[in-house]
Structure 1
Amino acid sequence: MISRRMLLTVLLMLLPWLLAACVSAPPQPNPALTVLANLPQPAPPTDGSIWRPGGGGDLIADPKARRVGDILTIVLQESMQASKKSSTTTSKKDSTNLKAPLILGTTASYRGNPLATALSSDNSFKGAGSSSQSNQLTGEITVVVVRRLPNGVLMVRGRKWLTINQG
């Protein structure tokens, strides 16, 4: 029979492995979502006044999406249309007349039928084809502001994977 002390020793030896099974790998940083540092802004000129040019805009300005780290939602709307038409018409007409040959001054014949013959052929083709294609993509993508340029333009970064079947 297994003693209580032996059972406790085995459980204590297995305990580190049991706890290690619960540990997960640390998450890897997503380079698409890392925030880039702001470009250095030129220092505003100091002229000794209480009022700074461009400093009072925060009282009435819309604070949405102007700082690094802010989140934006971009609406995608794209549509493409293409069409092509073609038509072809060809025709060919041939005719040939063969006169019966003269043999010793008389018209050659076989069993009383002259050997003269006439051949004609008439071929025509008329074809038309058209092709059209239309694609439309609508969706939204959420992005992060990663940089604000001195002229106020925001650089954003985000990623979304789409799978479109062949159409």
Structure 2
Amino acid sequence: MKPLALLALLLTAGCTTVPPTNIHQPMTARPAPRAELPPANGAIWQAGQGRPLFEDRRARYVGDTITVRITERTTATAQSNRKLDKSNSISASVGSLLGLPGKTLQGINLNAESANAFDGKGEAANNNAFTGNITVTVIDVLPNGNLLVSGEKQVAIGQEQEFVRISGVVNPSFVDAFNIVESSKVADARIEYKSSGQLSEGQIMGWMARFFLNVLPF
């Protein structure tokens, strides 16, 4: 019974495997602890506050959050045409000469011709669209003031889990007053949309089929 239970446990664990990622790690960060503030003196402005009273709430510190509006559209096309024509012709003749042996070969004409033709065409097209919103966390502030952000959103529907991940470098000047930045303005962006579950596993070729596909020459 123990081997069967272990096998069932492994199969169950395989169904809930989290897809690997290339996103900057960690995908979240806690803000640095604040220094102990002096006691309030009753004034509106208090010394030691992290932000001025009339300052906007755009992210700028580790642990702050930014909403990234994902609007990715890519279109790629490739077309190739190749054509080759080649022909050769050779002719030879043996004249009639007196006093030479092999009279049966005299007066024979030899002609040889060869022709090669090749015409190949190829065309490929790829269109992708990815839209959505995800809120990420500032995990580091670079020396020039840019923000390294990273985040993940997990959505579970039945037995299927979806993972939306994004990371990159954000220039604070590109963040609007609502603390939102477009994904097209995120440098070194790494955007992923992956899923884990029975539906995603059904789209993957089995290991035995992959083995024969790599080994068989036809």
For the superposition of Structure 1 and Structure 2, which TM-score range results when normalised by the shorter chain?
Answer: 0.3 to 0.5
TM-score (norm. length: structure 1): 0.47
Larger Rg belongs to = 1
TM-score (norm. length: structure 2): 0.38
